[in-house]
């Protein structure tokens, strides 16, 4: 106890360490208590305080201290758990993607509707502006016509006539712009109605997809959460570097398998043949071995708890017997019997 470090202990909350220090000081001062008496009363006193003498020695086993066999077992259990999670997610199918696509489509249609409404508003503002210009031009025409009666020479008359003609052309141009704007408003209104109908349809489809997805989620959520908790517990038991390599292999694999067992003398992931010496190394469990073709971690079927299939041996092909045909004397080479012989 003299070499015990009282601060920064990782196996307790500090209370136990301080208590041991008090007891140690008390022993030095009194020097009367016997060691066996202290060992007999100390556990009882700690138990009354809600502490335990075993707490100091109950440190978690370091993942780096695990043997290769234990690491492979933990990895395969983790792979099995993650595969079960993938199966639960596969039950949803493409529903999450369909829901996301519908939400994106509705967002795009909503943006389109807002743009159409802004365009309609701009065209209506342009129509009002042109109508105001027409009213102003008509007032100018009436004023110029009234001034024609007071002209004194041809020059003034020509000037007023040109102004009247110019304002008349301006009115016609404004009327043309108004007709074009009204046509655009009608087209935009039709587009707005079609877009709003599409939004209603897409929202209805989205609601149905969401309800279907929620039903599946309710059925699989509890099992998926249980599997996730189990996966977290298994990840703690695996060395961080090995776990990172396993996750990288699993991410790059098509079927999500990072560790596979040997099947019929071949890799269970890419199904390429494994040399006999490498198979022997896998069964020895002395080191972690990966497939030289796909990079997956290889494990012995017995260690994985799987019954291995024996390789099927090719049966030798039987030779086909050739029967020779005996040609009779009376028959020709082509099996034809002459007429003379027949008679």
Encode pLDDT of 129-180 as tens digits: 999 999 999 998 898 888 888 888 888 888 888 998 999 999 999 999 999 9
| 8, part of any domain | no
Number of independent structural domains in the chain = 3
Whether residues 133 and 211 share a domain: the answer is yes
Tokens linked to 29: 């001062």
Tokens linked to 138: 């008509």
Per-residue model confidence as pLDDT tens digits over 45-79: 545 444 444 444 434 556 667 788 888 888 899 98
C-alpha distances out from residue 273 to 19, 57, 265, 267, 280, Å: 63, 48, 6, 7, 14
On whether the CB atoms of residues 285 and 303 are closer than 8 A, the answer is yes
Whether residues 81 and 52 share a domain: the answer is no
| CA atoms of 135 and 170, how far apart (whole Å) | 11
Whether residues 123 and 28 share a domain: the answer is no
Per-residue model confidence as pLDDT tens digits over 189-246: 999 999 999 999 999 999 988 888 888 777 777 788 888 888 888 888 888 888 898 8
Collapsing DSSP to helix, strand or coil, 266 comes out as: strand
Least Cα distance to 76 among 309, 298, 307, 236 occurs for 298
On whether the CB atoms of residues 247 and 258 are closer than 8 A, the answer is yes
Whether residues 223 and 255 share a domain: the answer is no
Helix orientation angle between 35-48 and 15-30, rounded to the nearest 10 degrees: 150
Q: What are residue 297's DSSP bridge partners?
A: 259, 290
Whether residues 139 and 184 share a domain: the answer is yes
Question: Considering 173, 201, 230, which residue would you say is the last residue of a domain?
Answer: 230
Whether residues 223 and 277 share a domain: the answer is no
| 337, part of any domain | no
Q: What CATH number did the domain enclosing 144 receive?
A: 1.10.287.1700
Whether residues 81 and 30 share a domain: the answer is no
pLDDT of 95 reads 80
| 323, part of any domain | no
On whether the CB atoms of residues 55 and 16 are closer than 8 A, the answer is yes
| 69, part of any domain | yes
Q: Any idea what the Cα angle at residue 177 is, between residues 175 and 178, rounded to 5°? A: 65
**Tokens 């007891």 belong to residue:** 23
Residue 41 has pLDDT above 60, yes or no: no
On whether the CB atoms of residues 207 and 114 are closer than 8 A, the answer is no
C-alpha distances out from residue 180 to 126, 127, 177, 250, Å: 10, 9, 5, 62
Per-residue model confidence as pLDDT tens digits over 272-329: 998 888 888 888 888 888 888 888 999 888 888 777 655 545 455 555 555 555 444 4
Write the CB contacts of 79 (distance below 8 Å, at least 6 apart in sequence).
Answer: 246, 250, 257, 258, 259
Whether residues 50 and 148 share a domain: the answer is no
| 162, part of any domain | yes
Whether residues 226 and 100 share a domain: the answer is yes
Whether residues 19 and 143 share a domain: the answer is no
Collapsing DSSP to helix, strand or coil, 259 comes out as: strand
Question: Considering 230, 255, 275, which residue would you say is the last residue of a domain?
Answer: 230
Whether residues 185 and 83 share a domain: the answer is no
pTM higher than the cut 0.85: no
On whether the CB atoms of residues 173 and 181 are closer than 8 A, the answer is no
Band (pLDDT 50/70/90 cuts) for residue 111 is very high
Collapsing DSSP to helix, strand or coil, 289 comes out as: strand
| CA atoms of 98 and 116, how far apart (whole Å) | 27
| 327, part of any domain | no
pLDDT of 228 reads 87
What residues make up the domain containing 249?
Answer: 63-90+239-312
| CA atoms of 133 and 14, how far apart (whole Å) | 89
Between the CA atoms of 147, 151, 157 and 163, what dihedral angle is there, to the nearest 10 degrees?
Answer: -20
- The mean pLDDT value of the chain amounts to 77
Whether residues 135 and 97 share a domain: the answer is yes
Least Cα distance to 293 among 272, 309, 314 occurs for 272
């Amino acid at each position: 106890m003299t070499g015990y470090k009282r601060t920064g202990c990782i196996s307790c909350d500090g209370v136990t360490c301080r208590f041991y220090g008090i007891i140690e000081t008390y022993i030095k001062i009194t020097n009367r208590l016997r060691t066996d008496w202290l060992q007999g009363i100390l556990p009882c006193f700690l138990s009354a305080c809600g502490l335990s003498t075993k707490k100091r020695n109950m440190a978690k086993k370091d993942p780096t201290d695990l043997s290769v066999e234990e690491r492979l077992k933990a990895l395969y259990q983790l792979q099995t758990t993650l595969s079960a999670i993938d199966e639960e997610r596969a039950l949803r199918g493409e529903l999450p993607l369909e829901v996301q696509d519908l939400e994106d489509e509705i967002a795009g249609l909503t943006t389109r509707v807002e743009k159409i409404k802004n365009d309609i508003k701009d065209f209506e503002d342009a129509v009002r502006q042109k109508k105001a210009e027409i009213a102003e031009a008509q007032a100018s025409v009436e004023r110029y016509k009234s001034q024609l009666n007071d002209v004194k020479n041809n020059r003034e008359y020509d000037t007023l006539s040109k102004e009247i003609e110019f304002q008349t052309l301006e009115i016609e141009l404004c009327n043309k712009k108004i007709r074009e704007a009204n046509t655009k408003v009608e087209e935009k209104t039709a587009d707005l109605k079609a877009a709003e109908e599409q939004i209603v349809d897409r929202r209805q489809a989205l609601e149905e997809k969401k309800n279907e997805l929620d039903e599946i989620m309710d059925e699989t959520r509890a099992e998926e959460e249980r599997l996730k908790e189990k996966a977290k517990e298994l990840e703690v038991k695996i060395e961080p570097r090995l776990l990172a390599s396993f996750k990288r292999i699993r991410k790059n694999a098509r079927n999500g398998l990072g560790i596979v067992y040997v099947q019929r003398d071949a890799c269970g992931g890419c199904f390429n043949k494994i040399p006999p010496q490498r198979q022997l190394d896998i069964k020895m469990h002395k080191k972690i071995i990966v497939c030289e073709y796909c990079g997956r971690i290889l494990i012995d079927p017995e260690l994985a708890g799987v019954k291995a299939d024996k390789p099927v041996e090719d049966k030798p092909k039987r030779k086909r017997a050739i029967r020779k045909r005996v040609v009779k004397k009376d028959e020709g080479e082509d099996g034809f019997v002459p007429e003379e012989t027949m008679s």
